[in-house]
Structure 1
Amino acid sequence: MLTLSFILLFCLYLITAGLYIFVVHQSELVIIENPSLAIYETLHEQHSSNILCPCSQISVPYDRFFNVTFLLHQICTSSLVSSARLDYLTLLNTNRLPSWTSSDFARDFHTYGASYFQFVATFCLFARINIEDAQRVFVSTQFINNHLPPQSVLLQQIQSIFESFISQTRHHFTWLVNWIEVATMIDNFLTGENTNAQIIIDSNGQVIINDVTYMVVTKITHNSLSSSGRCSCGIEFDQCLLKPIIYTNGSNRLDFVQLFDELQVGCIPIIGLYRTTFDWWYSAT
């Protein structure tokens, strides 16, 4: 009798469990053709674990939904590096400047102004080429996904993609600048303005290259010059900096019209550029 009761109860349990599973967990497949974004978002909120929206294309180039633009630093579009200004600076006859304007603490700005801003313009060009190349690769990259992700996930993916693009572009430009810096310093290039060495051709046509030393100037006025010692471009090329000055027509090395504390002239151009600030260009005075 007990056995029969157990069997009846067990069968009743199986019938009840089967009905529960069938009624409660029965699902229905509903297909909605071409839903709008609003409908999809509503359905996703209500059925986030069950909704499935396959894409008609699993890969789409970034330029279908990304618009990548960039702006270079203002100096790269300013008159400082314009072709008209560079042409004007190169036309200046530096041979008419007195020899004493090339001292061991300063240089007349006219002697290297053209090459200095041509160097700045070159770096602006490098930056533009670097970004444009990265931009072309970026917009042609394929975004691959076989199902439509929810908006929150898609926005996170887009943010991650942009951050990766910016980081890689910066890294590549930094690598380029570091390569230029290393190549310039290791190969010991001689500058045309004789700032890192003194190049002399003697009467026999022999080229003589001598090291140069500069005064480490701390302050210059029309009446005084203070220095903290001397440095050698052959040994301390990253520490030697000359002051850019526009001299008057007199014969006094401290008789100048303009002193550019913001600009620096190094033994090699890239060192001076690293130490330069261009805030003065945006000042009304």
Structure 2
Amino acid sequence: MLSVNRVTSVESGMVPIGRRRRLRYWFTIVRNKITTFNLFPDRVDDDENRIREQRYTSRLYVVLLCVSVLVLIIITSLSHQHNTRTIEFPTITIYKELQSRFSDELTCPCSHVSIPYGRFIELYPSFHQVCSSAFISKQWIAMVFPQSNMKIYEDFRVQATGQFQLLQNFCELAGQTVVRALQDFATSEFITANVISATVFDAQMRSTINTFQLKTPSAFISTLELIRRTTHGNAFMTVYASNWK
């Protein structure tokens, strides 16, 4: 009786039959494990439909878990690694260079959190030309006022004296209001924990100065409004009877 050799030669290039059977055997085992894979505990009262749903749910859970882990690995591998380096007391040149290269990651804490505005901002007010003219000087008022004791109130020289004196008081009140506002502005403090860019700093300073320019006239107008309401409420009459008919 002849026996057939089941293992072919290597020279023929064919896979041995025994290896094929082993591969099929392991493939069958893996397929059965996958088809019967169930994360839910077995119960006696579970029917076939319920078991099938549990298996589908278990497969979906495993697939989603693998996808989530894969996405997490990809994101982690693609993320940049940041190395923090500290430079003690950098100069303005070094800071500008680092700001141009690492604008989003750069942080530079300030040695002083607050600083008065008067340390780096100087404001020079300008008043109306009449407040620096000779029309509000004592010499002009004395020259306009008549030397004789005139009682003709309709005469311009009589009324003009009071009007120029009132104009002088308004100029003094405006100067005092602006001086107080400048003193308050100079002593108020600019607060920041970290160094900010030149663009942001300029924008904040423009906004602060614009707010100051709007608030200062409002304070002067409030004082004038108080004087006006006091005069109107008490029915005061001027010495020239110009507001009385």
Superposed, 1:138-217 pairs within 5 Å as 138-197=185-244, 212=245
Question: Normalised by the size of structure 2, how large is the TM-score?
Answer: 0.67
> Where does residue 143 of structure 2 map in the other structure?
88
**Cα shift at 1:94:** 4.5
Question: Normalised by the size of structure 1, how large is the TM-score?
Answer: 0.58
Rg comparison, structure with higher value: 2
Per-residue Cα deviation, 1:174-223 (whole angstroms, up to 9, x for no partner): 111111112122211111112223xxxxxxxxxxxxxx2xxxxxxxxxxx
* Contact 2:116–2:188 (8 Å) recurs in 1: yes
* Contact 1:63–1:140 (8 Å) recurs in 2: yes
Q: Is the counterpart of residue 117 in structure 1 residue 172 in structure 2?
A: no
CA RMSD of aligned residues (A): 3.0
* Contact 2:146–2:158 (8 Å) recurs in 1: no
Which protein is richer in strand relative to its size? 1
Q: Aligned pair in 2 of structure 1 residues 196, 23: CA closer, same or farther (>3 Å)?
A: closer
Structure 2: 5+ residue runs without aligned partners? 1-26, 34-61
SS in 1 for 2:190: strand
Aligned residues with identical type, % of pairs: 25
**Cα shift at 1:24:** 4.7
Which protein is richer in helix relative to its size? 2
* Contact 1:94–1:110 (8 Å) recurs in 2: no
Tell which deviates more after alignment, 41-50 or 148-157.
Answer: 41-50
**Cα shift at 1:87:** 2.8
Q: Which amino acid aligns with 2:221?
A: T
Per-residue Cα deviation, 1:106-156 (whole angstroms, up to 9, x for no partner): x32111221110000101111111111111111000111010111111111
Tell me which of 88, 112, 121 is aligned to 1:57. Answer: 112
Q: Is the counterpart of residue 136 in structure 1 residue 183 in structure 2?
A: yes
Per-residue Cα deviation, 1:81-113 (whole angstroms, up to 9, x for no partner): 012212333463252x7x5xx5xxxx3211122
SS in 1 for 2:224: helix
Q: Which amino acid aligns with 1:166?
A: Q
Superposed, 1:1-285 pairs within 5 Å as 17=73, 21=76, 24-90=79-145, 92-95=147-150, 99=152, 107-197=154-244, 212=245
- In the alignment, the residues of structure 2 paired with residue 171 and residue 119 of structure 1 have an alpha-carbon distance, to the nearest angstrom, of 20
